[in-house]
Chains A and B, each alone.
Chain A
Amino acid sequence: MVDSRNKQTGNWKEMVIPSNLRAAAESERTIVAEVQRCGFSRDATFAIRLAIEEALTNAIKHGNGNDPSRRVFIRYVVDRTKAIICVRDEGNGFDVTTVPDPTAPERISLPDGRGIMLMRAYMNDVTFSEQGNEVRLVKVNQ
């Protein structure tokens, strides 16, 4: 579950969770509830939920290798104009430029590899840290 190190720094809120999908889902619900309170549309709420889910799944599965001893660090700020969510894992990171296009004919029937593409499709801005173990998601409330 979301652990006791939840805290707030300025407008930013922080959560630290273990690498499991139940804890990730709980943190996702917390952020989505705030998005709703700030008046984001249904489409924007869907987009943010999807992007958070992709970021957390990647962090747990690929970043932390499903290692329950590794943690995921979440920082977010939501107001009436925008939502910014940062997700960091304790893995070695990766080079985002090497991620292949999941829609290419030779990859379309693979079960994995669509997460980054979906984040980019639904958010206004998606940036990775140089090391590649943190993603920053931005959605503007239009």
Chain B
Amino acid sequence: MSGYGAATLRPLAIETERRGDTAIVHLAGGATMEQADRLRDALMQVIGRSGACIVLDVQELEFISSLGLGIIVAAHLQTKQRGGSFRVAGAKSKVGEVLALTKLTRLFDLFDSVEDALRGSH
């Protein structure tokens, strides 16, 4: 069995692509505590070198805990402090549920898909 209820989660995969002045960060697998440093480093690197706009694609993300949520919150704040935009795309299934429970849906700009996030339409 694979997915959010699997005995072993897929390792966290982080891929970054650039479209115009927007950096899209695709996350897949499990953002577990063991992967927290990788997630933090990747997001900080993107914020440090990219322009102001970031789309975080979590559609394939199977797991996230408060540690990962904190890293995303910090990335969101840093991007905003630089005058940029930070959008979260594809938050469904269990990750969407965790965002709703923690009410981070009020903090983040959420979009159904990366394309919607790039267009800025919910």
Which residues in A have some Cβ–Cβ distance to B below 8 Å?
Answer: 21-22, 24-25, 28-29, 32-33, 36, 41-46, 49-50, 53-54, 56-57, 102-103, 108-115, 117-118, 121
Given contact pairs A117-B102, A121-B101, A32 touches B66 in the complex (Cβ within 8 A): no
CB distance from B58 to the nearest CB of A (A): 15
Residue contact B94 to A118, C-beta cutoff 8 Å: no
Stretch of B4-12, B42-50, B114-122 lying at the A interface? B4-12
- Rounded to whole angstroms, the CA-CA distance of A45 and B5 in the bound complex is 5
Given contact pairs A49-B63, A110-B73, A42 touches B106 in the complex (Cβ within 8 A): no
CB distance from A142 to the nearest CB of B (A): 14
Chain B residue at minimal CB-CB distance from A117: B102
- Rounded to whole angstroms, the CA-CA distance of A29 and B4 in the bound complex is 13
- Rounded to whole angstroms, the CA-CA distance of A41 and B65 in the bound complex is 19
- Rounded to whole angstroms, the CA-CA distance of A46 and B9 in the bound complex is 10
Set A36, A41, A57, A117: member contacting B67, Cβ < 8 A = A57
CB distance from A48 to the nearest CB of B (A): 10
Q: Tell yes or no: B83 within 8 A of A by CB.
A: no
- Rounded to whole angstroms, the CA-CA distance of A96 and B1 in the bound complex is 37
5 cross-chain CB contacts under 8 A: A21-B34, A42-B6, A46-B63, A50-B65, A57-B67
Chain B hits for A117, CB < 8 A: 101-102
Chain A hits for B36, CB < 8 A: 21
Q: Tell yes or no: B77 within 8 A of A by CB.
A: yes
The B contact surface, by secondary structure, is helix
Number of interface residues of B (CB under 8 A): 31
Chain A hits for B106, CB < 8 A: 108
CB distance from A24 to the nearest CB of B (A): 6
Residue contact B77 to A109, C-beta cutoff 8 Å: yes
CB distance from A56 to the nearest CB of B (A): 7
Residue contact B65 to A109, C-beta cutoff 8 Å: no
Chain B hits for A118, CB < 8 A: 65-66, 98, 101-102
Q: Digit string of B54-94 for contact with A (CB within 8 Å is 1, else 0)?
A: 00000000010111011101101100000000000000001
Residue contact A114 to B70, C-beta cutoff 8 Å: yes
Residue contact A57 to B66, C-beta cutoff 8 Å: yes
Interface centre among B6, B34, B70, B104 (most CB of A within 10 A): B34
CB distance from A118 to the nearest CB of B (A): 6
CB distance from B34 to the nearest CB of A (A): 4
